[in-house]
């Protein structure tokens, strides 16, 4: 089941969020070697994990984190605008109906097939969340090989600039448009899996 969490301070959300932050540390810091903040040696938490953040979290039967995606309003200082604006030569898109997608966390312990299913569940939930909340576009920055895959999922999507090489490999910014036809577009490529993505507020 996918949980949508928009109150990170609620007591009932803390165990799940801690489980997510621990998985993010194991994936992004221990495995990928990202130079990002780590809290108490166990949790990957940065300045964009705050009261404005919405988390989409796939939750296992035991209540622990399986996979997650972070959503953030672009009208607030956000990662693409604050840290990677140089990836958008025509400017960073911002607005009330534009949100940033980041920190797609698919832990290695699941195996490739399970990670793909979890990814599709999270993208399905992100589309449904956008349609429910009036979000018209998602932006973000990701490794360029995955950007090419994401742009080919079937939804209306575009690169926001050329790929730029950094020590960990090339990265690039993207924007996807979300509208009433987006679920059907993503069904063409098997990404939209609404039947598998039960959403709990």
| Domain spans of the chain, in order of start | 2-196
* Angle at CA of residue 31, ends 23 and 27, nearest 5°: 20
Gap between the Cα atoms of 112 and 184, Å rounded = 25
pLDDT attached to residue 194:
66
pLDDT attached to residue 116:
96
Q: Closest Cα to residue 131, out of 176, 77, 67?
A: 176
Gap between the Cα atoms of 148 and 41, Å rounded = 33
Strand partners, 157: 176
Query: Is the domain defined by 2-196 classed in CATH 3.40.950.10?
Result: no
User: Within 10 Å of residue 139's Cβ, how many Cβ atoms?
Assistant: 24
Regions of the chain short of the pLDDT cut 70: 194-201
Q: Closest Cα to residue 57, out of 126, 141, 127?
A: 126
Instruction: Report pTM.
Output: 0.93
pLDDT attached to residue 197:
47
């Amino acid at each position: 089941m996918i949980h949508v969490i928009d109150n990170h301070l609620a007591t009932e959300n803390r165990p799940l969020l801690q489980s997510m932050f621990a998985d993010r540390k194991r994936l992004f810091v221990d495995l990928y070697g990202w130079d990002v903040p780590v809290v108490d040696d166990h949790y990957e938490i940065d300045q964009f994990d705050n009261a404005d953040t919405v988390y989409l979290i796939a939750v296992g039967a035991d209540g622990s984190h399986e996979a997650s995606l972070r959503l953030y309003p672009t009208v607030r200082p956000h990662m693409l605008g604050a840290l990677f604006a140089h990836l958008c030569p025509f400017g960073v898109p911002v607005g009330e109906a534009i949100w940033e997608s980041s920190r797609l966390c698919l832990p290695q312990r699941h195996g490739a097939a399970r990670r793909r299913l979890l990814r599709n569940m999270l993208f399905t939930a992100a589309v449904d969340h956008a349609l429910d909340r009036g979000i018209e576009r998602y932006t973000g920055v990701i490794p360029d090989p995955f950007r090419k895959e994401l742009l080919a999922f079937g939804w209306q999507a575009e690169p926001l600039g050329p790929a730029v090489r950094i020590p960990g490999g090339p990265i690039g910014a993207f924007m996807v448009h979300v509208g009433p036809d987006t679920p059907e577009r993503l069904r063409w490529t098997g990404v939209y899996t609404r039947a598998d993505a039960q959403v709990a507020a």
